[in-house]
Amino acid sequence: MESQVRGGTRWKRFAVVMVPSVAATAAIGVALAQGALAASFSVSGQSFKVSADELHGNGFAQYGAIDSGYTLSGEKTIHPVAVSSFKDATIKNLCQSVVTPNIPILGSVSLTLTAGNSDDKKNQVSADNLYIDVADLEAKGGAVFHGIDIGVAAGDTGADKGGKGPGMKGGKEQANPYGFAQQATGADLYGVQQTAWATTAGTFTLPGLKMKLQTGTHECY
């Protein structure tokens, strides 16, 4: 079975990546209300932006959660996220940016990373056991999901339970294994623009990696 979604989907709170169902979005809210904690570390007080021309992943799963972390002033806080996971993925023309505001004398300073700007998949960014804790996403070129299942229990998305994804994150994660999730054998996203709080991976290969620090606000999109 193949499910295709065209156009852009904007995540606000408790939303899901490209879910073709209003009921699915409501179910994510239920999962969050049950008290899931996503990250295996405390996230910083700064979210970051990520863009990519294309993302092709195998073994996709997603579930709602909450990241615990800090504000820039050091106070503890939480962030609702949708955790998107892939057994493996390739990413064309990856850009990641984070802006640190209010630095004395300098004002804002932007850190930008780019990699994988190639039509040859061997020279694109690759990752395995990839998890992205996302607060907002738009796929301007649309998305295609292959063999999608919506409404799976989050704890059953891993291969050890017969699922299609890499399984829920370990470490300090306390996400509800009985909460709402979706999974697919593969996912293709085009024109990706997202805001995230955390990314983790087993390996993350970045051909042609470039880093730039600039004063002012310079974001990937």
Q: What is the pLDDT of residue 174?
A: 57
The four Cα atoms 158, 31, 191, 148 give a dihedral, to 10 degrees, of 50
Q: What is the pLDDT of residue 5?
A: 43
Contact 130, 91 (CB under 8 A): no
Torsions phi, psi for 174 (to 5 deg): -130, 30
Q: What is the pLDDT of residue 206?
A: 96
pLDDT band of 198, cuts 50, 70, 90: very high
**Rg of the chain, C-alpha, whole Å:** 17
Contact 120, 207 (CB under 8 A): no
The range of the structural domain enclosing residue 84 comes to: 2-89+131-196
The four Cα atoms 103, 99, 10, 165 give a dihedral, to 10 degrees, of -130
Average confidence (pLDDT) over 69-96: 94
Percentage of residues of the chain with pLDDT beyond 90:
69
- Taking CA 56 as the corner, what is the angle to CA 82 and CA 209, rounded to the nearest 5 degrees? 90
Residue 115 inside a domain? The answer is no
Residue 43 inside a domain? The answer is yes
Q: Identify the H or E element spanning 27.
A: helix 22-33
pLDDT top residue among 69 and 125:
125
Torsions phi, psi for 104 (to 5 deg): -55, 135
Q: What is the pLDDT of residue 73?
A: 92
Q: What span, in angstroms and rounded, lies between the C-alpha atoms of 111 and 193?
A: 17
Which residues pair with residue 63 across a beta bridge? 83, 181
State pLDDT tens for residues 171-195. 555 578 889 999 999 999 999 999 9
State pLDDT tens for residues 101-120. 999 999 999 999 999 999 99
Residue type, 65: A
Name the residue among 175, 139, 144 with its Cα closest to residue 157: 175
Residue 169 inside a domain? The answer is yes
Task: Please state the domain count of the chain.
Answer: 1
pTM across the whole model: 0.83
C-alpha count within 13 angstroms, C-beta hemisphere, residue 210? 9
Q: What is the DSSP letter of 158?
A: B
Residue 210 inside a domain? The answer is no
The four Cα atoms 54, 56, 60, 66 give a dihedral, to 10 degrees, of -30
